[in-house]
Chains A and B, each alone.
Chain A
Amino acid sequence: MSVTTTTVAPTKPWVKTPWQRLPSLSLVLLSLIASGIIIEMTPLKGKLGFFLVFVPILTISETILARVKADKKAAQDVLVSSFIWTATFLVFLPIASILVTAIVKGLPGLKPNIFAETMQIVSFTDPLNKGGLLHALVGTLYLILLSIAISVPLGILTALYLTEIRGPGSNFIQFIVQAMSGVPSVIAGLFIYSSLILATPLRSSSMLGAFALVILMVPTVTRTSQEVLLLIPNDLREAGLALGATQWKTVAMVVVPAARSGLLTAVILGVARIAGETAPLLFVLGGADGLNWNPFSGNNSALPFYIWKGFLIGLPEAIQRAWTGILILLIVVLILFATARYLGSKNRRKP
């Protein structure tokens, strides 16, 4: 076969050329100008006012243009696209706003002393070069560690039950786990209070806080672990069994190691879920202002509780402390989230 060198270049004739985009772009420009004029002339003001005028003007004019240039169905298509753009913008505006707010409002309080001191001898309303959230950081750390210790075995073993054993109760257990994921966080706290604090000598502590958080964490860990385990191809399991391994050996030595990073992701996502929980802690943690190195007894603290206290006091310094606390909490959550994503994508890239 004669190989002729192709001098033809690939093109994409269906993609709109800049020239074709011109009418649309000029409409955007015209709408901006028109909106500006209308804003000047009417009592509508501010960014909201501009938005409320600009979006309808642009939408209507683009729809009319499509109707004129093409036909009714093209006009509908353009109208729906406008709605979709607007909706997407409305989703990402709060995300950006929240992130920016947390950073802008939290930064001023980010002083070195907050990592070294507690609120034991300092009041929330004292100037910010005094006091700190060390106790809250330690408390959150305790909560995370204790929660992991309990939810990881519980969550992963439950996931193993659902994927590997698939016993007769599987559907039911699946249902139960899903029901648990809908339990409001405040209920988890109330439950621990009503069962342990009211009925036993146990009193507020990090341990009890962890118990409450476990209720919220296990469904997340279970669900994500399940997804990960289901992705492990059956060939692996069959290979293990064909080599004569028992089921538990296959699971322990073949399946779980293969799913290792996915299971780790599940745990991290679970931690991210509970790191910022406030409501359950209000009932079982005690909200201490000083360091309590004992996680098993005595009031303790956590970042969300610290933030909560600051907010409730309401005076400027207290609010500032709260914002700084939020910023730190947000950074913790972001790190967890990014780690989970990184592990997840590494997992997917494996053949």
Chain B
Amino acid sequence: MRLRRGHDAAMPALETLPEKRKITTKPRPSDVAFRGIVTTFGLINLLILTLIGSFLLFRGLEVLKNEGFGFLTNQKWDIVPDESGNQPKGMIGLGSMLSGTILISFVALSVALPISVLTALGLNFYAPLRVRSFLVTMIDLMAAFPSILFGMWGFFVLMPSAEYWAMLLHRYFGWIPIFDVPQPFFTRSPFIAGLVLAVMIIPIITSVSREVFSQAPLDRIQAAYALGANKWAMIRAVVLPFGANGVVGGAMLGLGRAFGETVAVFTVLNIVYQTNWDILFGAGGNVASHIVLRWGEAGEYEVKALLAAGFVLFLLTLFVNMIANSIVRATVKKGR
């Protein structure tokens, strides 16, 4: 189609556009193979994840079918076959361990979250440059510590002190129900386990928060300062609204980690199968440590039950992590 060169420049000629051409390339065999291989490997991840869920479910199915929903709520774990060798219904369930999981994880989060957010603000806006990279390295290092190290440290170093604080808390705040104890047994309590977990998840939450805060838009920060804000006013007006979502995502990542932590909890908590909401009292457990505790002497049926418990834990952490990741991803994309 040619442009009509007109003598009347006042009215330009209307041009009909040509049809769009379809551009195709025949892919070379090597590229097809490459894409095939790489895509396959990408899909293997999906396969693994599905297999994990499937096998655990498959193995534990018998127990889950026996107990039904009670598997989640029953507050006993008595593997006691009756005369005909069958396990009567209603005798095993994760109830106490689920509430224990939630209890210690939330103790951990309530200690770790404020500390992490404040530290992240400090690293981004208060620490001098040279100090900052050292501190960040230290926190990343702590994220790499083995969990058994946290467990041992928690047991031998933190617990003696924490026991003292627990007694103080009980003496002065024991009127609050959660700080009451049935007996003065303060060692290896959910409180201490929660503190150890807090130390373990602080690096995660701090890292995510720090990343998010560092992306707070500089032009808005400058606008706040130009209006006569001091540092805290600026943080409150610009950084916190911007980073709130990301911090929530980071907190949920930490929560997911706390839900699944095994070894550290096992060393520091007195794993007893009972529902204990008195955080200062030395008894409790979480699903992961319960599995480890019972594994050694588990008979065939109990093994299945423990695998079913694993399936429940798998779903729980999967769920929390999915939410956390979508929140963090949304914050990163937002970046306005």
Residue B291, interface by CB 8 Å? yes
Residue A143, interface by CB 8 Å? no
Residue of B nearest to A198 (CB): B59
Contact B114 A87 (CB under 8 A): yes
Residue of A nearest to B42 (CB): A161
Residues in chain A near residue B260, CB distance under 8 A = 182-187
Residue A291, interface by CB 8 Å? no
Contact A85 B122 (CB under 8 A): yes
Contact B34 A91 (CB under 8 A): no
Among B148, B230, B318, point to the contact of A278 (Cβ < 8 A). B148
With A and B bound together, what is the CA distance between A51 and B192 in angstroms?
Answer: 19
Residue B96, interface by CB 8 Å? no
Residues in chain B near residue A304, CB distance under 8 A = 146, 148
Number of residues on chain B facing chain A (CB within 8 A): 88
Contact B199 A94 (CB under 8 A): yes
Contact A102 B41 (CB under 8 A): no
> Which residues of A, 166-202, contact B by the 8 Å Cβ criterion?
167, 169, 172-173, 175-188, 190-191, 193-195, 198
Residue of B nearest to A182 (CB): B321
With A and B bound together, what is the CA distance between A154 and B28 in angstroms?
Answer: 24
> Which residues of B, 238-276, contact A by the 8 Å Cβ criterion?
253, 256-257, 259-263, 267
> Which residues of A, 212-242, contact B by the 8 Å Cβ criterion?
215, 218, 222
Residue A275, interface by CB 8 Å? yes
Residue A30, interface by CB 8 Å? no
Residues in chain B near residue A247, CB distance under 8 A = 31, 34-35
Residue B202, interface by CB 8 Å? yes
Q: Nearest chain B CB to A304's CB is how many angstroms away?
A: 6
Among A73, A188, A194, point to the contact of B59 (Cβ < 8 A). A194
Residue A54, interface by CB 8 Å? no
Residue B150, interface by CB 8 Å? yes
Residues in chain B near residue A84, CB distance under 8 A = 118-119, 121-122, 126
Residues in chain B near residue A323, CB distance under 8 A = 152
Residue B37, interface by CB 8 Å? yes
> Which residues of A, 76-99, contact B by the 8 Å Cβ criterion?
76-77, 80-81, 83-88, 90-92, 94-95, 97-98
Q: Per-residue 0/1 for A49-78: is the Cβ within 8 Å of any B Cβ (1 yes, 0 no)?
A: 000000000000000000000000110110
Residues in chain B near residue A83, CB distance under 8 A = 118
Q: Nearest chain B CB to A344's CB is how many angstroms away?
A: 10
Stretch at the interface among B9-17, B48-56, B80-88, B178-186: B48-56
Residue of B nearest to A84 (CB): B122
Residue B330, interface by CB 8 Å? no
Contact B147 A91 (CB under 8 A): no
Contact A98 B313 (CB under 8 A): no
Residues in chain B near residue A273, CB distance under 8 A = 144
Residue B175, interface by CB 8 Å? no
Contact A77 B122 (CB under 8 A): no
Residues in chain A near residue B51, CB distance under 8 A = 191, 195
Interface centre among B34, B114, B116, B317 (most CB of A within 10 A): B34
Interface centre among B148, B150, B206, B233 (most CB of A within 10 A): B148
Residue of B nearest to A247 (CB): B31
Stretch at the interface among B70-78, B157-165, B217-225, B277-285: B157-165
With A and B bound together, what is the CA distance between A275 and B58 in angstroms?
Answer: 30
Residues in chain B near residue A90, CB distance under 8 A = 115
With A and B bound together, what is the CA distance between A85 and B56 in angstroms?
Answer: 46
Interface centre among A84, A190, A283 (most CB of B within 10 A): A190
With A and B bound together, what is the CA distance between A273 and B143 in angstroms?
Answer: 9
Residue A248, interface by CB 8 Å? yes
Residue A307, interface by CB 8 Å? yes
Stretch at the interface among A3-11, A112-120, A329-337: A329-337
Residues in chain B near residue A88, CB distance under 8 A = 118-119, 122-123, 127, 135
Contact A283 B295 (CB under 8 A): yes
With A and B bound together, what is the CA distance between A85 and B51 in angstroms?
Answer: 47
Residue of A nearest to B127 (CB): A88
Closest 3 CB pairs of A and B: A276-B146, A184-B260, A182-B321
What are some 5 contacts across the A-B interface (CB < 8 A)? A91-B202, A249-B30, A276-B145, A276-B148, A283-B295
